[in-house]
Amino acid sequence: SEILYSNRLKAMEVIPDDFDMDKEITRGEISEIVCRIYNLDYTSGGSRIFSDVDEDNPYYQAIDMVYTHGIISGFGDGSFRPNETITNEQMIKILISMTGYDDIASQYGGYPSGYMKIAGENDVLAPDTAGTDIVTGRKLAYSVSAETCSQRNFVRNIGFGRSPTSVLKLDL
């Protein structure tokens, strides 16, 4: 159930206990969430990569970290748009990139169609929200659920600081 999914993310300290599961998630927030999933140190350093992400942005270092690891990219105009709500297509791209399947997505046409094809074949999005274009905490919890993925026996360790037994499992 989605309560189980969200409780697992809270137990992993990916989202705080008071996280509103119906809240829309921004591009900046998802950057921090990805860092927490992989236990990436995003508390120091960083460089200004995007024109609209200054050092005083609360997600500055997390954005730099996920960009450096190739999980999230910006827009053609040099911006990141950290305060924009993340879309389904963007979330799917992140999830597929986190599992190391960018090459396969490229073979299927790249962003967004290749990533959406992989997601569609593997039930990555929550069934009750798949028709909407926004990503809420509820959709995130379903999509990155260790429980759902362990049922499918899919584990991919991309080597970002977690042991193979505790690495994030995705719906692929």
Phi, psi dihedral angles at 92 (to 5 degrees): -60, -45
Q: What is the mean pLDDT of each run of 10 residues along the chain (172 residues)?
A: 69 79 88 85 79 93 90 93 90 84 91 85 59 62 49 32 33 33
Q: Residue 64 has what pLDDT?
A: 92
Give dist(CA 126, CA 103) in Å, integer: 24
* The pair of three-digit structure tokens given for residue 124, joined into one six-digit string: 């990555």
| Closest C-alpha among 21, 17, 15, 16 to residue 1 | 21
Under DSSP, the state recorded for 26 is: B
Q: Residue 41 has what pLDDT?
A: 78
* The pair of three-digit structure tokens given for residue 66, joined into one six-digit string: 């996920």
CA distances (Å), origin 21, targets 9, 44, 87, 101, 134: 11, 28, 16, 27, 13
Q: Residue 169 has what pLDDT?
A: 37
pTM above 0.85, yes or no: no
Give dist(CA 4, CA 1) in Å, integer: 5
If one counts every other C-beta atom within 10 angstroms of the C-beta of residue 96, the result is 25
Q: Residue 81 has what pLDDT?
A: 97
Under DSSP, the state recorded for 25 is: P
Q: Residue 124 has what pLDDT?
A: 67
- The DSSP bridge partners found for residue 134 are 87
Q: Residue 62 has what pLDDT?
A: 92
Q: Residue 11 has what pLDDT?
A: 78
Q: Residue 117 has what pLDDT?
A: 85
